[in-house]
Amino acid sequence: MDQHRDDRGLNRCLEAIGLPKSTYYYRKNRSNEPSEEEQKLMDHIREIIGEHPSYGYRRILPELEERTGQTVNHKRLRRLLNEHELGLARQVSKHSPSPAEEILGDAAGQLNLVADLDPEPLEAFSTDFTELKYASGSRKAYLMAVVDLESKYVPGWAVGPSGNRKLAMRCWEQVRERLTSLGEELDEKIIHHDLDSVYTSYRWLRAILLGDEMRISYSEKGAKGNPWIESLWGRTKAEVGSRITEASSLPALRVVFDERFRYYNQERRHSSIGQIPPREHLTQTLDILESEPQIAAVS
């Protein structure tokens, strides 16, 4: 820029490379070396963009605040994205499929293990994320839950600001703990979900396939291929929708779902299992303890 501004003029040079004048002067006048704090912040930002390349600053911001544990001004985030040339132009770059995605692509048409299955209690589970609008609709959060296909029992759930791998693993830790307390081994059981990037990620696959020795089933038809979790979302939002909207904070929203799913498991009657609650159905069919395991809420 400094080499050509005298001949071409500063404004024409800035226009040619699409650089705002304010950014030019900021870079020109600031120190060349970013602070240690800024370097750490940029590490988190690049990590988020690597996992979610379509995110703009509005979606990056809550993810960044969750990972750093600090409040980040949205203007500062936008400045950093501009300075490091991480604007949404990055969306046009082609995504190279991971080894897992390549394997799934080769196995297309054979990924759904539950389509014709008549499962036993606690043999096959369904999961997904759903978006929640709370604080009178002004704020957004995500819920992940796991439901048993046969008994409709929900062994785990988690609420967070982003529907990401971190939230998925929080939810799954609760599932592990609850099923262990019921005397159930995870190996050879099936978890069914869609082809969301969370569920094709190395961290999720390693935990399910290698850690728990379970089998993974994928819906190849989106929500249509995963009716169990969609049914759970529909019932839940119909029955506690007003409480979701009225929740004023994320902790308050978590309380709503802790209470909801304890009621759902222990008291709510389900027609598909003889008009009794899931917990009672499991007690009858699996001869398990009658008291619901007390597990701390997943934050």
Output the pLDDT for position 166.
94
On whether the CB atoms of residues 62 and 162 are closer than 8 A, the answer is yes
**Of 65, 66, 100, the residue nearest 200 (C-alpha):** 100
C-alpha dist (Å) from residue 289 to 6, 74, 178, 184, 292: 82, 50, 12, 12, 8
Output the pLDDT for position 98.
83
Instruction: Tell me phi and psi for residue 139, to 5 degrees.
Output: -130, 160
Output the pLDDT for position 191.
98
Walk along the chain (299 residues) and give the pLDDT tens digit of each residue. Answer: 677 777 778 788 777 777 777 677 766 666 555 678 888 888 899 889 888 888 888 889 999 998 888 899 988 898 888 877 776 655 545 567 788 889 999 999 999 999 999 999 999 999 999 999 999 999 999 999 999 999 999 999 999 999 999 999 999 999 999 999 999 999 999 999 999 999 999 999 999 999 999 999 999 998 999 999 999 999 999 999 999 999 999 999 999 999 999 999 999 999 999 999 999 999 998 865 444 444 444 43
How far apart CA 191 and CA 183 sit, in angstroms, is 18
Q: Which two tokens stand for residue 265?
A: 């498991």
How far apart CA 24 and CA 18 sit, in angstroms, is 11
Architecture of domain 101-286: 2-Layer Sandwich (3.30)
| Rounded to 5°, angle at Cα 66 from 60 and 69 | 125
Q: pTM, whole model, 2 decimals?
A: 0.67
C-alpha dist (Å) from residue 229 to 5, 44, 191: 60, 32, 12
Structural domain boundaries in the chain: 5-92, 101-286
C-alpha dist (Å) from residue 1 to 18, 19, 21, 28, 136: 12, 10, 11, 10, 49
